[in-house]
Amino acid sequence: MIDFVPKDKIYKPLLIYLLMTNNEELIKNKTVISPRTISILKDVSNKYASLILKRYTEKNYLRRIKKGKYTSSYNIYAVASNLIYPSYISFWSGIRYYGKTEQLLNTIFVACTKKTRDIKFENYKIKFVKLSKKYFFGFKKEISTNEEVFIADKEKLLLDCLLFQKYSGNIDEIIKFIEGENFDIEKLKIYLKKINNQSLIQKTAFLLEKYKKIDLGLKIKTRNYTFLPIIDKEKINKKWRVKTK
């Protein structure tokens, strides 16, 4: 859901590149560029490439994201998910991308594999959330406004949100996402088995049964209860071993 790209600024893959090189294939769908990119394309030094980028920024063809990173894109999801590799949009921003929250977010949450400082870019804060390799999977590349966006698939997004709720809005946002989406249940079960986190299995199974009438049919291998901050008249669900308010 790209709802904040100005209609008069729908991005075409770095039009500025076409002013610099005839090799269109090399720059197809390129969202974030650096001096090294220009250096390779134009066969110039990094210093001269930096000067080129500075000049085009001064002319408002490009905008500076951080030192050495530039864009002409107005698609914040494309910008955020192309700053480091590998990475993908997830958590509350993923819910927004799929159009399942009405909240306009100034923080864009990006899952990645290494510790990375947050970036303040114009009106946005791009927050990088480091995941262990165990959790880093289940994302895809989509083309949006002619740009590549790396985004969690819906099944992995649900699990990311339940694993890291502090980056996912309140529990009501996750519930709205569950209620509004259709999930590939077999894929979800494969993901749960791969992560092998009993608390996550309990929470996912409980919420899908409560809000989608779907029984995952998974065996709970713990006697421990997990907690979800939702109001439920039962308070304790013995089947999935979940406690609620």
- Helix, strand and coil percent figures for the chain, each rounded to 5: 40, 20, 40
CB 211 within 8 A of CB 205: no
Going by C-alpha positions, the residue among 244, 232, 240, 234 that lies closest to residue 208 is 240
**DSSP state, residue 220:** P
pLDDT at 172: 96
Q: What is the pLDDT along the chain (245 residues), one digit of tens a residue?
A: 555 554 444 444 444 454 455 554 555 557 998 998 888 877 889 999 899 889 989 988 889 999 999 998 999 999 999 999 999 999 999 999 999 999 889 999 999 999 999 999 999 999 999 999 999 999 999 999 889 999 999 999 999 999 999 999 999 999 999 999 999 999 999 999 999 999 999 999 999 999 999 999 999 999 999 999 998 888 999 999 999 99
**pLDDT score, position 159:** 99
What residue has token string 């006697």?
Answer: 223
CATH architecture of 7-71: Orthogonal Bundle (1.10)
Q: Burial of 108 by CB count in 10 Å (0-12 exposed, 13-18 middle, 19+ buried)?
A: buried
Kindly report whether the global pTM for this prediction surpasses the value 0.85. Answer: yes
Question: Nearest-CA neighbor of 149 among 21, 70, 18, 31?
Answer: 31
Which H or E run contains 189? Answer: helix 185-195
Burial of 189 (0-12, 13-18, 19+ CB in 10 A): middle
